[in-house]
Amino acid sequence: MQDNQMTSEEIVDRYFLEHRAKVLDIAAFLDRIDRSGSKEKDFRIIALLKCIDELQSGDENRTKRILELLSDHSIEPIDVASTKGASGAPPTS
Amino acid sequence: MSYIDPHIHMVSRTTDDYQRMAQAGCVAITEPAFWAGFDRSSSQGFFDYFRQLTDTEPKRAATYGIKHHCWLCINPKEAEDVGFAREVISIIPEFLDCPTVLGIGEIGLNKNSKNELIILEEQLALAESANQLVLVHTPHLEDKLKGTNLIMDAIDNTSLDPTRVLIDHVEEHTIKSVLDRGFWAGMTLYPDSKCTPQRAADCIEMYGTDRLWINSAGDWGPSDPLAVPKCRLELASRGHSEELINTISFGNPLDFLSKSGKFSIS
Ligand SMILES: [Zn+2]
C-alpha cells in the first residue's frame, strides 16, 4: 500500500477550487431541472440526492458507498437484454 | 519515460492521436475487439474487423514507432443473438496464430443477460482450449457490480488461471474483490464514467500496484487517448516515485502481456 505523499493542507490547496466548481455545477443542474417546472422527480435525480446525503457521512470510503448506492444489487442474470445502454442509477432507487 | 496503453480502440482514433501518444512516450498499445457503435449485419463484418486489427492497425501504429497488438472476440453488446455470436466465435481460431494476437478479449457482460453469459462462457472455453490470455470488459454504471461478480463466478467455473485473466474497468466498489480473487485488474481513465486520473491515483494509493494497470480505453465516445500520461503526471505531482509510475504504466502491462509469449515492444 502506498502512502499518500501529500499533507491534508496540500490536498485542500490543490483540489479545493476544482471541487467547489463541481458542487456549483450540481446546484445549477438541480436548479435547471426545477425551472423546467416538472413536479415528478426522475429516478436518477432521486439517486443523486441520496448520494449527496451519503457525502455528509463522516466515514471513509464514500466513493465505494456511493458507487454501491448507484448499483443494481440483484444477483441473477436478466432474461433478455432489451437495451444496450445503462442509465447510471438502478431504476428502483 | 516510456509507457504502454494496454487498452485502446485505435480503429476509432485518428493518426493525429498516434502522433500525440508517441510524443507523450507511448511505445506499445493493445487493442481489444469491441462494439463499433452499431451492430454488424453479418459475421463477415467481424472477419473484416479482425483483419483490420491484425493487419492494418499494426502498420498504422508502426508509422509512429508504436507496437500494436490485439485481442479478438465478439463483444457482449452483440452477444444477445446467440446464433450470430457463435458464427463470429467460429472465425476467431483462424486468427489466433497471428503474431500480434495476444488472447481473447474484451469479453464479458453488458446488461448481465442470460445470453450474454452463455456467450461469455463459450469464449472462456475457447480461451481454455486454445491456452489464451483473457481480457475482460465489465459492464457500465449500475450494471458493473453485479456483472463483475457474475463474470468472476463464470471464470471460477473454468480451469483458467486467474493470473492469466485481466478484469478491466474496475472502480472503487469492484477493485478489491477482483484483486482478492487473484485476477489482474485494469482501471480505465474516462472523463465522465469509470475512473478519472485522480481517482485512479487514489486507488493506487489505497491498493498498491500489484496486478494493476491503467488504460485510456480511448474509442469513438467521450474518452482521452492521452489519459495514461495524464495519470502519470497526477501521480508525479503528488510526489510518487518514478519507480511506482513506471510500474503501473509500463512494468505491469509488460508483465501481464508477456504471459502471451507474443508481446514485444521492439
Ligand atoms: Zn474497450
User: How does pLDDT run across A68-93, given as a tens digit for each residue?
Assistant: 999 999 999 999 999 999 999 997 64
How many cross-chain Cβ pairs, A to B, lie less than 8 Å apart?
92
| Pick from B1, B73, B20, B76: nearest CA to B216 | B20
* A12 and A34 inside one domain: yes
State what percent of residues in chain B have pLDDT above 70: 100
How long, in residues, is chain A? 93
Average pLDDT over residues A6-33: 96
Contact A86 B140 (CB under 8 A): yes
Label residue A5 by pLDDT band (50, 70, 90): confident
Contacts of A72 in chain B (CB under 8 A): 112, 142-143, 145-146
Average pLDDT over residues A27-47: 93
User: What is the pLDDT, as a whole number, of residue A93?
Assistant: 45
Q: Which three cell numbers stand for residue A74?
A: 440483484
Residue B266 resides in a domain: no
| Pick from B62, B55, B68, B47: nearest CA to B262 | B68
Contacts of B231 in chain A (CB under 8 A): none
* A34 and A49 inside one domain: no
Residue B265 resides in a domain: no
Longest Cα separation, chain A: 51
* Prediction pTM value: 0.96
User: Is residue B244 predicted with pLDDT exceeding 90?
Assistant: yes
Task: Quote the number of domains for chain A.
Answer: 2
Average pLDDT over residues A48-67: 93
Q: How far out from the chain centre does Cα B150 lie? A: 18
Mean pLDDT, chain B, rounded, equals 97
User: Is residue A1 predicted with pLDDT exceeding 60?
Assistant: no
* A65 and A45 inside one domain: yes
Task: Quote the number of domains for chain B.
Answer: 1
Q: Which three cell numbers stand for residue B74?
A: 465478439
CATH number of the domain enclosing B184: 3.20.20.140
Average pLDDT over residues B241-258: 98
User: Is residue B266 predicted with pLDDT exceeding 90?
Assistant: no
Label residue B55 by pLDDT band (50, 70, 90): very high
- Range of the structural domain that residue A52 is part of: 41-73
User: Which residues fall within 8 angstroms of residue A80, CB to CB, at 6 or more apart?
Assistant: B80, B113, B114, B115
* A32 and A46 inside one domain: no
User: What is the pLDDT, as a whole number, of residue A86?
Assistant: 95
Burial class, B201, CB count within 10 angstroms (exposed 0-12 / middle 13-18 / buried 19+): buried
Chain A residues 52-71 with a CB less than 8 Å from chain B:
61, 63-64, 67-68, 70-71
| SS3 at position B93 | helix
Query: What is d(CA B262, CA A4) in angstroms, rounded to the nearest whole number?
Result: 36
Q: Which of A15, A67, A80 sits opposite B113 (nearest CB)?
A: A80
User: Is residue A4 predicted with pLDDT exceeding 70?
Assistant: no
Comparing A38 with B260, the larger pLDDT belongs to: B260
Q: Which three cell numbers stand for residue B37?
A: 457503435
- Range of the structural domain that residue B192 is part of: 3-258
Q: How far out from the chain centre does Cα B226 lie? A: 16
**What distance in Å separates residue A20's CA from the closest CA in chain B?**
16
User: Is residue A3 predicted with pLDDT exceeding 60?
Assistant: no
User: What is the pLDDT, as a whole number, of residue B191?
Assistant: 82
Query: What is d(CA B71, CA B101) in angstroms, rounded to the nearest whole number?
Result: 6
Contact B139 A3 (CB under 8 A): no
Q: How far out from the chain centre does Cα B214 lie? A: 10
Contact B80 A89 (CB under 8 A): no
* Angle value at C-alpha B246, between B20 and B265, nearest 5 degrees: 60
Q: Which three cell numbers stand for residue A68?
A: 454501491
User: Is residue B182 predicted with pLDDT exceeding 90?
Assistant: yes
* A14 and A31 inside one domain: yes
Residue A13 resides in a domain: yes
**What distance in Å separates residue A84's CA from the closest CA in chain B?**
6
- Say if residues B132 and B92 touch (Cβ distance below 8 Å): no
Chain B residues 171-230 with a CB less than 8 Å from chain A:
171-173, 198-199, 202, 204-209
Contacts of A61 in chain B (CB under 8 A): 172
Q: For the segment B198-234, what is each residue's pLDDT rounded down to a tens digit? A: 999 999 999 999 999 999 999 999 999 999 999 999 9
Average pLDDT over residues A28-32: 97
Q: B148 vs B111, B159, B173, B202, CA distance in Å?
A: 11, 18, 10, 21
**What distance in Å separates residue A81's CA from the closest CA in chain B?**
6
Distance B31 CA to ligand 1 centre (A): 8
State what percent of residues in chain A have pLDDT above 90: 82
Q: For the segment B145-160, what is each residue's pLDDT rounded down to a tens digit? A: 999 999 999 999 999 9
